[in-house]
Structure 1
Amino acid sequence: MKKLILIRHAKSSWKYDVTDHERPLKTRGINDANLIADYLKSLNLNVDHVLVSDATRTKLTAGIILPALKIPENIISFKHKLYDFSGESLIEVIKSANDAINTLMVFGHNHAITAFVNTFGDRYIENVPTCGVVIIEFKERKWSQINPGKTAHTIFPRDLKV
């Protein structure tokens, strides 16, 4: 069985004169990433590998969440191919994951994440919000052979705010 933890980057800023790839997080994004990190700690996830888009906002989101989960740096990879908005590259990257990895965490972008969860999960989600997390479980033993699985968990920052 394979488990995929998809995390959309936290809320980013358009305030600075930088390329889309270099946009930083807003204060709200930093706060949301900390909320999500605290919640994910309670799930006791046993992550085998982490893939992170090389965009600044995605790296910053991962930089908040991963240390909180005590994820070792040697299982983290940065992939430019995850700077994807259509979802085609996201599917390709996930399906090419090493089969020794049972639990894969991926930090990426929308529309790719929402398209993926609606294609491979069993619950329709209109839009995965910034810093939203969707966990999908697959029966298959090989990433290359995954078919639609079970949307086991969704965690959105708005659900954690009181």
Structure 2
Amino acid sequence: MKKLLVMRHGKSDWSQQADDFDRPLNKRGRGDLPHVARMLGAVESGLPDLVISSSSQRARETATGVVQALGSHLDILFQDSLYLAGVGAIRQALGGAGKDVDSVLLIGHNPGLEEWIAHLCGARVRLPTAAVAHLLLAVDAWSEVGDDCGQLQWLVIPRLIKAIGLP
């Protein structure tokens, strides 16, 4: 059994004249990251073994912000192929995780992430910015991940995290 945390990048800044790939997080996007990290720390039994992220600016900032807020020194694997990736590219990125890796935090973009979740567990979910979905995958190796091998455990959005008042 493998655990996959799927996170969409934080809210990005549209005010700058940058290419889509180079758009940074805005103030709200940066501000949501500590809340998400606290929630992950409160409900997860340990940190993920690996963080895999799109290499876009907003995804990079999201990954580093969450890892820093968790107070950890997790390695982050940035992959260009996850920028606006579809199901095939996401599967390939995860397939490279070692068999000893039991949990992954995957950070990327819509619509690919929503399609990926639907592919894994048949659930049509809306994944707003900085939202996290927790899936359990009935596989022994990441290379075995495929259709309907997952079960959605929970999904949380920053607005809900703030509303319930996690410290």
TM-score w.r.t. length of structure 1: 0.91
| Unmatched 5+ stretches in structure 1 | none
Deviation string 1:129-157 (CA, Å, 9 cap, x unpaired) is 00010111112101111242111121111
Task: Kindly indicate whether the alpha-carbon contact (under 8 Å) linking 1:33 and 1:65 is maintained by their aligned counterparts in 2.
Answer: yes
**Aligned twin of 2:153:** 152
**Aligned twin of 2:69:** 68
Distance 2:23 2:47 in 1: 30
Distance 1:33 1:67 in 2: 9
CA-CA distance at 1:87 after TM superposition: 3.1
Distance 2:82 2:46 in 1: 22
Deviation string 1:21-70 (CA, Å, 9 cap, x unpaired) is 11011111112222211211112333111111111101111121111223
CA-CA distance at 1:122 after TM superposition: 4.8
Distance 1:85 1:158 in 2: 26
**Aligned twin of 1:135:** 134
Alignment of 1:1-162 (within 5 A): 1-43=1-43, 44-73=45-74, 75-125=75-125, 127-147=126-146, 148=148, 149-162=150-163
Distance 1:63 1:95 in 2: 22
> Secondary structure, in 3 states, of the residue corresponding to 2:89?
helix
Q: Partner amino acid for 2:124?
A: Y
Distance 2:85 2:48 in 1: 24
Q: Partner amino acid for 1:47?
A: P
> Secondary structure, in 3 states, of the residue corresponding to 2:116?
helix
Distance 1:152 1:58 in 2: 23
> Secondary structure, in 3 states, of the residue corresponding to 2:67?
helix
Distance 1:121 1:69 in 2: 28
Q: Partner amino acid for 1:68?
A: A
| Unmatched 5+ stretches in structure 2 | none
Distance 2:98 2:5 in 1: 15
TM-score w.r.t. length of structure 2: 0.88
Large movers: runs of 4+ above 4 Å: none
Task: Kindly indicate whether the alpha-carbon contact (under 8 Å) linking 1:22 and 1:55 is maintained by their aligned counterparts in 2.
Answer: yes
Cα RMSD of the aligned pairs, angstroms, is 1.5
CA-CA distance at 1:91 after TM superposition: 1.9
